[in-house]
Structure 1
Amino acid sequence: MKSNNWLLLTLVFLCGFSVMGVEMAASRLLRPFFGDSILIWANIIGLILIYLTLGYYLGGRWADRDPRAVTLYRIIAIAGFAIGILPYLARPFLQLAIPALQQFDAGLGFVSFVGSLVLFILPITLLGCVSPFAIRLSTRDVTSAGATAGTVYALSTFGSILGVFAPVFILFQSFGTRGTFVAFSIALLVGAIVGIIQEGKIVRALKYLALLAIIVILAALDSGGIVKAAPGLVTEIESPYNFIQVIDDPSGWRLLTVNEGQAYQSAYRADRVLTNGIWDLFLIAPHFASADAPRSLLLIGLAAGTTARAYTLVYGAIPIDGVELDPAIIAAGQKYFAMTQPNLRAIADDGRNFVQTRAGQYDVIAIDAYRQPYIPFHLTTVEFFRATRAHLTPRGVVAVNAAHTPTDYRLVDALAATLRQVFPSVYLIDHPNSANTLIVATLAPTRLDDFRANVARATDANLRVVAEQAALTARVATQTAPVFTDDRAPVENLIHDIIFRYALGQ
């Protein structure tokens, strides 16, 4: 390669950096509206690869027809401009997702999701053109073609490696999602303009300087603002794990929702103990094994502390360990949900890692780790429940929140069947006001009549209300269903099928 190819090789590196950086930023752009499940990631990665494939093919043919450096620089400049305006063009498509999810309109949601991803076709396809084009420009002798191609692909791949880490550890935190797109855009435009000037095309460079000015002006006029509007919005928080919203509803409840906002992860009113939600049912879980009040609680999926607060108010200041993956959710709970009980120890950790690496035993282990509509698969398996069993006292219980539709209990049945592989007695309680079932498993063999007798002795008024509610649907889990293991736990596929059938009215 000629020594004056330094700019060309720098741009190859920068384009590889931008491809992966934009892919990472795409997930952040879509997360508030569609979440970041494995399905979303599969679509993002798959479409990006399709666009790159198209770019590789077109770039090679384009380079053979017009093997000039200035043509490559123009391609990079247009790609940079497209990246810069992408988050602004995506807004109307993303806003369609809000009514789609609220109304469960699968067609509208599909248009919103696909429309957003189609916007990536131009910049990613153009960036895919860069490597074959650069190889064509840099190859002076067929005897060194292999070394030339190897150098180009090594630089591009090295850039992509950095493009994975830089957004996560630096750019998202420093500039936000839209600012990250703008940063990649400006870098590509500046590099391309330098190349065009180096080729002596001053007038043409001025045209691309105008595009750069448009991006800079857009970024300057963008005050950040609200990413996803919602009635009663108190605050929005973007963390490495979630897009978080705190909302005040008209009835006086403060609510926590994450990502696409299909459900609430926490609810708080200073003058209420009960929420009329699934959190209330966790209060009666210990009485499947004992009439006595629980002496300790491990809560996997602390969120903003709704269940922890209820346990403290009903059972007193018992020791509570609350495990929450996202430190930003813990901070939001402490700031906006009065999650400041001195008996609560909030721990930022993965629930599976916590039970496998920490000591301690508990009367109750409550698992409420939904990231709607999904449960992390590693918190649903036989191996996980065996690990939780080791942390139970002799009168211990495990309680798991699971969702269902009015007619489809397959997820509930699968979790119950999995728990029955580990525990001798498993029970189900449907919540009357939501599509949730609480699954309770006891370490020692128990009977449903034991539960009824235990809650009949309850003196706390709130506990009695929940017990009366639960008595209407409490039943022994007897259904057979596939058992989830670490090797095979098709939780996402099962949930997708449940949602699909529900959307079709089946």
Structure 2
Amino acid sequence: MRKWLYLAVFVSGMTTLAAEMSASRLLGNYFGTSNLTWASIIGLILIYLTAGYFIGGRWADRSPHYSTFFQILIWAAFSIGLIPLASRPILRLAANAFDNLDLGVLFGSFSVVMILFIIPITLLGTASPFAIRLALRDSRTAGSIAGRIYAISTLGSFLGTFLPVLILIPLVGTYRTFLTISAFLLLISLLGLGVTCSWRRTLYYAWMPGVLLLLAIFGTRGTDKANPGLIFETDSAYNYIQVLQFGETRYLRLNDGQGVHSVYHPSNYF
């Protein structure tokens, strides 16, 4: 059982940082990547984790069971998968506000999107104190158990820092990155629940992978706003890229209008 506990802690740590890095990319396309944007993301994520640590410790004392631990992670995983769908209309509003220079709506959109992370990040924050409570059998080894749990979680966070930036976002895009990390944590949590408790209990959550699959297929199509002339779009390691064509002129645009990188016309040289 302890092996599954450590694996779940590792994956939850990875998911936390992967969600944070993906959030910076999700919001950076619309609100920029300034120090203020980064400070807001990091600060709020830390507040959510603080709440999770506090809640997780009390929750573990009241219900020190593997079933409770893995069910918390199941709901954390599923709520991360809902972030792309829930944020889409808000980001569409933000994109239009950016075009109209409506700073009030822009700030409000940023705030609402960050609120979407309260539930998943807070639930993920409960993992480490809960795992310590489950792993602790003798107070004489409390220090080594706590150190091991936090080391495993931090190692997972290290992986989660680079995984979306170097692999997932360039490969599948920002929205499907959220779905990928959500699905992986959900898989580990369901397996952990089945192995440590009861496979029958996992059937209560059998619908969740189906919802994530439907979101991956149908829920992330199209752009966040109507873009006349759009002929191509993709995520690179650094930017959200769009190619638009008006007449014979093509524009390479970065981050949904924050900058036009280059212009091409077959008969003109710039």
Q: List runs of 5+ in structure 2 lacking aligned partners.
A: none
Aligned residue in 2 for 1:397: none
Partner of 1:231: helix, strand, or coil?
coil
* 1:256 partner amino acid: L
Aligned residue in 1 for 2:153: 156
Aligned residue in 1 for 2:243: 246
Aligned residue in 2 for 1:293: none
Do structure 1's residue 48 and structure 2's residue 53 form an aligned pair?
A: no
Q: Is the 8 A contact 2:175 2:220 kept in 1?
A: no
Aligned residue in 2 for 1:85: 82
Partner of 2:228: helix, strand, or coil?
coil
Q: Is the 8 A contact 1:35 1:260 kept in 2?
A: no
Q: Is the 8 A contact 2:233 2:242 kept in 1?
A: yes
Q: Tell me how far 1:270 sits from its aligned partner.
A: 3.8
Do structure 1's residue 126 and structure 2's residue 137 form an aligned pair?
A: no
Identity of aligned residues (%): 46
Q: Choose which of 169, 174, 178 in structure 1 pairs with 2:171.
A: 174
Q: Is the 8 A contact 1:189 1:208 kept in 2?
A: no
Q: Choose which of 15, 18, 22 in structure 1 pairs with 2:15.
A: 18
Aligned residue in 2 for 1:69: 66
Q: How does 1:98-109 map to 2 (within 5 A)?
A: 98-109=95-106
Q: Tell me how far 1:201 sits from its aligned partner.
A: 3.5
* 2:263 partner amino acid: A
Which whole-Å deviations, capped at 9, do the CAs of 1:65-96 have from their partners, x for residues lacking one? 11111111110000000011111111011001
Q: Tell me how far 1:224 sits from its aligned partner.
A: 4.2
Measured in 2, the distance between the counterparts of 1:84 and 1:14 equals 15
Q: Tell me how far 1:53 sits from its aligned partner.
A: 0.8
Do structure 1's residue 188 and structure 2's residue 167 form an aligned pair?
A: no
Q: How does 1:255-270 map to 2 (within 5 A)?
A: 255-270=251-266
Do structure 1's residue 218 and structure 2's residue 215 form an aligned pair?
A: yes
Aligned residue in 2 for 1:288: none
Q: List runs of 5+ in structure 1 lacking aligned partners.
A: 273-308, 311-506
Q: Tell me how far 1:184 sits from its aligned partner.
A: 1.2
Q: Is the 8 A contact 1:238 1:244 kept in 2?
A: yes
Q: How does 1:6-405 map to 2 (within 5 A)?
A: 6-222=3-219, 224-226=221-223, 228-249=225-246, 253-272=249-268, 309-310=269-270
* 1:237 partner amino acid: T
Equivalent pairs, count:
270
Q: Tell me how far 1:234 sits from its aligned partner.
A: 2.2
Measured in 1, the distance between the counterparts of 2:25 and 2:152 equals 26
Measured in 2, the distance between the counterparts of 1:215 and 1:48 equals 23
Partner of 1:50: helix, strand, or coil?
helix
Partner of 1:266: helix, strand, or coil?
strand
Q: Tell me how far 1:186 sits from its aligned partner.
A: 1.3
Which whole-Å deviations, capped at 9, do the CAs of 1:239-283 have from their partners, x for residues lacking one? 111112222246x543232114144333343445xxxxxxxxxxx
* 2:94 partner amino acid: A
The TM-score normalised by the length of structure 1 is: 0.51
Segments ≥4 residues shifted beyond 6 Å: none
Measured in 2, the distance between the counterparts of 1:111 and 1:203 equals 43
Q: Tell me how far 1:180 sits from its aligned partner.
A: 1.5
Measured in 2, the distance between the counterparts of 1:32 and 1:261 equals 9
**Cα-Cα RMSD:** 1.9
Which whole-Å deviations, capped at 9, do the CAs of 1:321-377 have from their partners, x for residues lacking one? xxxxxxxxxxxxxxxxxxxxxxxxxxxxxxxxxxxxxxxxxxxxxxxxxxxxxxxxx
Q: Is the 8 A contact 2:176 2:220 kept in 1?
A: no
* 1:219 partner amino acid: A
Measured in 1, the distance between the counterparts of 2:95 and 2:160 equals 30
The TM-score normalised by the length of structure 2 is: 0.93
Structure with the higher fraction of residues in helix conformation? 2
Q: Work out which of the two has the higher radius of gyration on C-alpha atoms and give 1 or 2.
A: 1
Measured in 1, the distance between the counterparts of 2:108 and 2:127 equals 30
Q: Tell me how far 1:175 sits from its aligned partner.
A: 2.4
Q: Is the 8 A contact 1:182 1:219 kept in 2?
A: yes
Q: Tell me how far 1:153 sits from its aligned partner.
A: 0.1
Cα gap change, 1:237/1:191 in structure 2, threshold over 3 Å: closer, same or farther? closer
Q: Is the 8 A contact 2:13 2:155 kept in 1?
A: yes
Cα gap change, 1:140/1:14 in structure 2, threshold over 3 Å: closer, same or farther? same
* 2:202 partner amino acid: A
Q: Tell me how far 1:98 sits from its aligned partner.
A: 1.6
Measured in 1, the distance between the counterparts of 2:165 and 2:258 equals 25
* 1:116 partner amino acid: V
Cα gap change, 1:219/1:263 in structure 2, threshold over 3 Å: closer, same or farther? closer
Cα gap change, 1:228/1:201 in structure 2, threshold over 3 Å: closer, same or farther? same
Partner of 1:245: helix, strand, or coil?
strand
Q: Is the 8 A contact 1:34 1:259 kept in 2?
A: no
Q: Tell me how far 1:226 sits from its aligned partner.
A: 3.3
Measured in 2, the distance between the counterparts of 1:262 and 1:98 equals 10
Q: Is the 8 A contact 1:102 1:262 kept in 2?
A: no
Cα gap change, 1:260/1:37 in structure 2, threshold over 3 Å: closer, same or farther? farther
